[in-house]
Amino acid sequence: MKFSPWPQGQKLVHLDLKGAPPRIEYLHKLIDLFSRLGADGLLVEYEDMFPYEGELSLLQATAHPAYSREEVLCIQDVARSRGLEVIPLVQTFGHMEFVLKHKSLWGLREVGHCLGTLNPHKEQSVSLVMEMLRQVVELHPGLHTLHIGADEVYLLGEGEESKHWLASSGHTVEQLFLSHVTRVAKAIKEMWPQLNIVMWDDMMREMSHDTLKASGLVGLVQPMLWDYNPDLDVDKAVSLLEKYCHAGLPDLWAASSFKGSTSVHTSVTSTQRHVDNHLQWLKVAAAVSPGVRLQGIALTGWQKYDHLSVLCELMPVALPSLAACLKAINHGQFNPEDHIKVMESLGISSVEVEAMERTSEGESLFPGRKLAELIVDLTSLLNSEDLRYYENSMVVRGWLTPYHRQRKIVNPLMTMQIQSHATMLLTLLKQKVEAVREEMLRLYPDSTAQEWIGQHVEPVVAPLQRITQDIGECLLEMMPQTCLPSSVQQ
């Protein structure tokens, strides 16, 4: 079905750096590709990769070095040379995990067990946020637009100070949220009056028209409505945008997704799922009234659901999806001809990364292609019945149950067959893991390779390793030393 292309505003590619931060050389290649694929801006969520200084230096990553000041400026220079505007995203209320995890800042949490939500009643909270913003803005000379986050402010209102505040007549959690965001937005406008301020919309979705209109945010912020569902409810999204517009917030953004929103632990991206999400957004853009001034759409590429969760898909496996999604919103559809154009633009045989054929060509059209192919190959093995459900195989359940292992009474003939097969799988897996690790280190810091392997490989390998170890111990009790396999002999 043909829709109108995305009608107006910018097309931003979201760089979520809270996990798997690319090496700077690889990041430059990605920026160049984003431009060639049709993007015209970057929404950069630095988190702990920003080179915070002074008292905020503790916010910098420790598993790997944060980007230097020179590298942050270089990112902007490279983006600018490709026609891309850089818009930094700095969380100022929710998802403050990378800040509030530090012991010296525990006292600024809304509640002790929620690392993400800032206590809005403390002056130090506002001072902290404004200093973070100051350092980011000053390292982005010529900045036009700033995103202040403010999504998923979990457990707001449950802290003791909030409960006391809410006990006053007429005070609500909605007003508590709005008062903090308004205070931050006003402070930003006082310091940098030229800045456009963008914020996530989810905390305002249930608010009434009158509450929004009286919030103090009118004329201060531009809400960004996010929905990553391939079955996005078009009527609901249009209704929300119209509500914000009629409440005095006509400058609005959309946020779609090209990766990182399927599940918290997905390792390989499904292009069609994300293309469908963008086609739904095109329906939304076509249905809103002329009063809604769409400023653009951010194609989000989440790397983690939050600072402390596991890694979502790495960027290389998601580039076909990004290319397809940008093609869809620029062309208003994604038909077979569009498929072909995306495949040609990246030099691939399918827009689904799992179906790409291996080639011996270089990476000039697809930076990170080799890693994408290796991850797909390894993931296929990790998800195979042979490997993932090895302990449930008939032979293991028949001859090597926990009962057998505890008592070290086994049938050597059968268990030696189990051990031989398990060892073969472990050897094959080791070879593929080492290939992934070697290639990943070219594009990402060592900590990313460790995290990815620890997340995806070790939980699958551990049962196999336990089986081979238990078999060795059992065989020592069941066979003469001279008959033991070489891998078991002491």
Q: Please report, rounded to a whole number, the percentage of residues in the chain having pLDDT higher than 90.
A: 83
DSSP class of residue 10 equals E
What is the predicted pLDDT for the residue at 7? 87
Q: At what angle do helices 446-456 and 412-443 cross, to 10 degrees?
A: 150
Token reading at 400: 């090597």
Counting Cα atoms < 13 Å in the Cβ hemisphere of 164 gives: 7
The helix or strand, by DSSP H or E, that contains position 272, with its residue range, turns out to be helix 271-287
Token reading at 224: 């960004």
User: Dihedral of the CA atoms 29, 353, 4, 330 (nearest 10)?
Assistant: 10
What is the predicted pLDDT for the residue at 489? 61
Token reading at 382: 């990790």
DSSP class of residue 155 equals T
β-pairing, 251-259 with 145-147? unpaired
What is the predicted pLDDT for the residue at 362? 56
What is the predicted pLDDT for the residue at 283? 97
The band of 26, judged by pLDDT with boundaries at 50, 70 and 90, is very high
Place of tokens 């100070």: 161
pLDDT by residue (tens digit) across 140-176?
999 999 999 999 999 999 999 999 999 998 899 999 9
Q: Kindly tell me if the per-residue pLDDT of 349 is higher than 70.
A: yes
Is 47 an active-site residue? no
What is the predicted pLDDT for the residue at 485? 75
CATH architecture of 10-354: Alpha-Beta Barrel (3.20)
Q: Is 42 strand, coil or helix?
A: strand
Question: Maximum Cα–Cα distance for the chain, whole Å?
Answer: 86
Q: Is 436 or 402 the better-scoring residue by pLDDT?
A: 436
CB-based contact 296:10 (threshold 8 Å): yes
CB-based contact 133:188 (threshold 8 Å): yes
- Among residues 274, 366, 402, 285, the alpha carbon closest in space to that of 328 is found at 274
CB-based contact 179:120 (threshold 8 Å): yes
Positive/negative CA dihedral, 410, 412, 418, 423: positive
How confident is the model over 395-408, as a mean pLDDT?
A: 89
Burial class (CB in 10 A: 0-12, 13-18, 19+), 479: middle
What is the predicted pLDDT for the residue at 389? 78
Q: Kindly tell me if the per-residue pLDDT of 407 is higher than 60.
A: yes
How confident is the model over 459-463, as a mean pLDDT?
A: 91
Q: Kindly tell me if the per-residue pLDDT of 364 is higher than 70.
A: no
Q: Which of 131, 152, 158, 391 is catalytic?
A: 152
Residue 24, C-beta contacts closer than 8 angstroms, at least 6 positions apart: 67, 71, 74, 75
How confident is the model over 98-121, as a mean pLDDT?
A: 98
The band of 363, judged by pLDDT with boundaries at 50, 70 and 90, is low
pLDDT by residue (tens digit) across 337-347?
999 999 999 98
pLDDT by residue (tens digit) across 31-44?
999 999 999 999 99
What is the predicted pLDDT for the residue at 346? 92
Q: Kindly tell me if the per-residue pLDDT of 69 is higher than 70.
A: yes
Residue 320 CA to its chain's centroid (Å): 16
Strand partners, 294: 252
pLDDT by residue (tens digit) across 464-473?
999 999 988 8
User: Dihedral of the CA atoms 262, 268, 269, 271 (nearest 10)?
Assistant: -130
Q: Kindly tell me if the per-residue pLDDT of 482 is higher than 80.
A: no
- Among residues 202, 195, 95, 200, the alpha carbon closest in space to that of 136 is found at 195
What is the predicted pLDDT for the residue at 310? 97
What is the predicted pLDDT for the residue at 442? 97
**Out of 65-69, 257-261, 392-396, least confident range:** 392-396
CB-based contact 244:201 (threshold 8 Å): yes
Using CA atoms, how far apart are residues 83 and 35, in angstroms rounded to an integer? 7
The helix or strand, by DSSP H or E, that contains position 200, with its residue range, turns out to be strand 196-200
The band of 477, judged by pLDDT with boundaries at 50, 70 and 90, is confident
Using CA atoms, how far apart are residues 226 and 420, in angstroms rounded to an integer? 51
CB atoms within 10 A of CB 291: 10
The band of 478, judged by pLDDT with boundaries at 50, 70 and 90, is confident
Q: Kindly tell me if the per-residue pLDDT of 189 is higher than 90.
A: yes
CB-based contact 304:312 (threshold 8 Å): yes
Positive/negative CA dihedral, 305, 369, 438, 354: positive
What is the predicted pLDDT for the residue at 416? 87
